[in-house]
Amino acid sequence: MHVLLVENDNLDQSESLMSSLEAQGHQVWLAHTPETAIHKTVTLWPNLVIFHPVYDFDMAGFQNAIKETRLDIPHIIVGHKKYLASETDSKTTIISSDKLQQLTQSIQKVTAKQKGRFVRVPGLIIDCNQYKVLRGEINYSLTPKEFKLLHLLVTNSDEVLSRKLIMQKVWETDYMGDTRTLDVHIRWIREKIEENPEKPQIILTKMGLGYSMAKPD
């Protein structure tokens, strides 16, 4: 999973959870301030946010900022005594600092729920739960057909997909009399993910064949 770890910047390496999380195979981003934590959450779309321990952190402010994005990203608070008895939202798990063995169990539960949620390719993140795509720091909502089409192209980025195959997979039809609907959807997606939709660099047209995703450098 991709984990955002929010820690005090005065922790030494032995106190930090970063090494442990990386050893478990997670991709870990680090934040030391509320502003950085919020910014990285809304621009990187982590699967999980872990707070360890961030004293005087404005948790209510963080939760409100994240709630506005409607991402519903779960978070775990470790060793934060002032929050152990406080009200938190349904996405928050609280673990006492003397029960760190529970952290691995909590992460495993999140992993099971978040598995396959985000598809990450260079420059883009696709939210498969909420049909959204993030390009840079801007996210766009996708219609069900746009999502299905983009997901098909991204997960088959090593090949050119024929128009017939795309129509079969996305529109569940073999009718090829009019594929303008496909072209229109490609244009709509390009308007959301391309820097210049008129000169696409991500979704490429293969004349006489179909469409493909550009391979990352």
Residues shown for the chain: 217
Provide the pLDDT for residue 150. 97
The pTM assigned to this predicted structure is 0.88
Provide the pLDDT for residue 127. 97
Amino acid at 17: L
Domain with residues 2-114, CATH architecture: 3-Layer(aba) Sandwich (3.40)
CB 170 within 8 A of CB 149: yes
CATH of the domain spanning 118-213: 1.10.10.10
Amino acid at 163: R
Q: Tell me how many degrees the CA angle 196-66-86 measures, rounded to the nearest 5.
A: 175
Amino acid at 132: K
CB 79 within 8 A of CB 103: no
Q: Which residues of the chain have pLDDT under 50?
A: 85, 87
> Where do you find CATH 3.40.50.2300 in the chain?
2-114
**The two structure tokens encoding residue 181:** 């609907």
Q: How far apart are the C-alpha atoms of 49 and 85, rounded to whole Å?
A: 20
Whole-number Cα distances in Å, 79 to 25, 93, 97, 100: 23, 11, 4, 9
> Where do you find CATH 1.10.10.10 in the chain?
118-213
Q: How far apart are the C-alpha atoms of 207 and 55, rounded to whole Å?
A: 58
Q: How many CB atoms lie within 10 A of CB 153?
A: 22
What is the 3-class SS of the chain, one letter each residue? CEEEEECCCCCCCCCCCHHHHHHCCCEEEEECCHHHHHHHHHHHCCCEEEECCCCCCCHHHHHHHHHHHCCCCCEEEECCHHHHCCCCCCCEEEECCCCCHHHHHHHHHHHHHHCCCEEEECCEEEECCCCEEEECCEEEECCHHHHHHHHHHHCCCCCCEEHHHHHHHHCCCCCCCCCHHHHHHHHHHHHHHCCCCCCCCCEEEECCCEEEECCCC
Provide the pLDDT for residue 89. 60
Residue in the block written with tokens 């469409």: 211
pLDDT in tens, 157-179: 889 999 999 999 999 998 888 78
Provide the pLDDT for residue 80. 55
